[in-house]
């Protein structure tokens, strides 16, 4: 691996991807790859040598295959060593808070001047969390409901306890699939799915799969995102 960070830009808009790539080249050099869908990102990461090299992912929340914060949750679950920077047109404070709770290293609105990206990258690689100063002030000026904040942070911690396969099962539960359908989709035995479901309920301290699915949707889904994420 070179001394420069290895980064992947995941966005379905080619012009924005190109502009982002050009802006990031000042701090990351040529060590940047581009993908246009979540499926392409998943395939790229599943190439073992590549996954070991990637340090940064710039993730659009609204792109083919990514539904809201589900992709972020899946990435943090499957690849905890990779820093994920959310790049989105969505500037809702609630969404930004949830993204940071889920482990995003930065949240960059697409309205931010591209020149600010190198500042963000520098802070992220230094182990800091970055959001634009204006949004940071808004977050501080509008403190979140304490109970809601605790619930979201607890959910993020519980999500970290899941194995990548359990995350997939939980996502399928949230999509309304039955155990038999999940087993078919993941190409495993139904008894294996039942074991995963039991583990999920235990880790999330809920009584049934309906509660688990509702919790997943409440915490990870964002309005106006309609695609489905799989990792």
Confidence at 226, pLDDT banded by 50, 70, 90: very low
Q: What are phi and psi of 138, to 5 degrees?
A: -65, -40
pLDDT tens column, 46-103? 875 666 789 999 999 888 888 789 999 999 999 999 999 999 999 999 899 999 999 9
- Domain 146-220 fold is Arc Repressor Mutant, subunit A (1.10.10)
Residue with tokens 């997943």: 216
| 22 half-sphere exposure, CB direction, 13 A CA radius | 9
**Bridging pattern class, strands 106-109 and 83-88:** parallel
Q: How far apart are CA 143 and CA 148, in angstroms?
A: 11
Q: Does domain 6-141 have CATH number 1.10.10.60?
A: no
Q: Where are the domains of the chain?
A: 6-141, 146-220
Helix (H) / strand (E) containing 108: strand 106-109
Please tell me if the domain spanning 6-141 has the same topology as the one spanning 146-220: no
Backbone angles phi, psi at 32, to 5 degrees: -130, 130
What is the percentage of the chain residues whose pLDDT exceeds 90? 62
Bigger pLDDT: 144 or 203? 203
Which residues, at least 6 apart from 127, have a Cβ–Cβ distance to it below 8 Å? none
Q: Is the pLDDT of residue 3 over 70?
A: no
Q: Give the residue, 208 or 27, on which the prediction is more confident.
A: 208
SS3 of residue 218 by DSSP: helix
- Tens digit of pLDDT for each residue in 167-189? 999 999 999 999 999 999 999 99
pLDDT in tens, 107-132: 999 999 888 888 899 999 999 999 99
């Amino acid at each position: 691996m070179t001394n420069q960070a290895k980064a992947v830009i995941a966005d379905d808009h080619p012009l924005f991807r190109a502009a982002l790539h050009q802006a990031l080249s000042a701090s990351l050099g040529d060590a940047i790859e581009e993908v246009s869908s979540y499926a392409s990102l998943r395939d790229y990461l599943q190439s073992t040598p590549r996954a070991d090299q990637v340090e940064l992912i710039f993730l659009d929340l609204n792109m083919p295959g990514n539904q809201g914060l589900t992709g972020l949750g899946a990435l943090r679950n499957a690849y905890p060593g990779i820093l994920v920077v959310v790049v989105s047109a969505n500037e809702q404070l609630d969404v930004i808070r949830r993204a940071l709770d889920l482990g995003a290293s930065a949240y960059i609105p697409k309205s931010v001047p591209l020149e600010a990206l190198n500042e963000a990258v520098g802070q992220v690689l230094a182990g800091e969390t970055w959001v634009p100063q204006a949004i940071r002030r808004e977050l501080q000026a509008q403190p979140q409901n304490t109970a809601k904040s605790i619930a979201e942070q607890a959910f993020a911690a519980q999500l970290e306890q899941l194995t990548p396969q359990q995350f997939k099962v939980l996502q399928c539960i949230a999509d309304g699939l039955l155990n038999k359908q999940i087993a078919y989709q993941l190409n495993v035995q139904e008894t294996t799915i039942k074991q995963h479901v039991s583990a999920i309920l235990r880790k999330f301290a809920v009584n049934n799969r309906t509660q688990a699915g509702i919790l997943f949707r409440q915490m990870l889904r964002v309005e106006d995102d309609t695609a489905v994420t799989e990792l």
